[in-house]
Amino acid sequence: MKFRELNEALSFVLAILSLAVAFISFNPLYLGITVLAATTAVVPHELAHRQTARNYGCNSRFVLSFKGFLVTFLINFLSGYFKLGILIFVSGYTAILCRFGLMGEELTGKTAFAGPVTNIIIAIISLFTRAFLFGNPLVNTILLEIFAFNSYVAFFNLIPIPPLDGIKVLRWNKLAWGVAILISFLLTFLVRRS
């Protein structure tokens, strides 16, 4: 079986683990928290791409990239182990096939934009929820990790370098890209201060 032929659920699990290793901890509870937080960053991001494409009549699914998975896993593992503070996510992509042929710049941009915007929304919701639930340390930690993972994934994906989402969004709508990368940068800055 080729790596591309993995079913979508297994592809998601491997992508989540490649991201979660950035926060290595030998505490089983904390490992569970990081897997949960990584799940909130990966699955909604990729489903947002998929649903946006489907709204335009295209077929789509999440595909794990073997090279992307290895790069993501190794860099995030080493970053977590040596406390480098680096987080990347290039484990996979949403494969899109449209009946009407190639996707135009607008459809490509909107589909790419959906993922990081979803991460920004989740980060903001977790930040505000955390502000009101300051009494429970476990809930506070979970919300902080959800905030951190989603902020980092949004910012990283908006960097305008192929094959990341940022270059597709920038080509489609410079203003939308500028606002989104600024918000994600500010959220990522807040993570560092939390």
How many C-beta atoms lie closer than 10 Å to residue 33's C-beta?
21
For residue 5, give the DSSP letter: G
| Tokens read off for 156 | 């990283």
CB-CB contact of 33 with 91 (8 Å) = no
For residue 21, give the DSSP letter: G
| Tokens read off for 101 | 């042929």
How many C-beta atoms lie closer than 10 Å to residue 91's C-beta?
28
Domain ranges in the chain are 3-193
The dihedral of CA 153, 79, 139, 69: what is its sign? positive
Query: Model pTM?
Result: 0.90
The per-residue pLDDT string of the chain (194 residues; one tens digit each, 9 = 90 and over) reads 455 578 899 999 999 999 888 877 666 778 889 999 999 999 999 999 999 999 999 999 999 999 999 999 999 999 888 888 888 889 999 888 888 776 789 999 999 999 999 999 999 999 999 888 777 888 999 999 999 999 999 999 999 999 999 999 999 999 999 999 999 999 999 987 76
Q: Phi/psi of residue 92, each to 5°?
A: -165, -170
Q: What is the pLDDT of residue 175?
A: 99
Q: What is the pLDDT of residue 67?
A: 94
How many C-beta atoms lie closer than 10 Å to residue 139's C-beta?
13
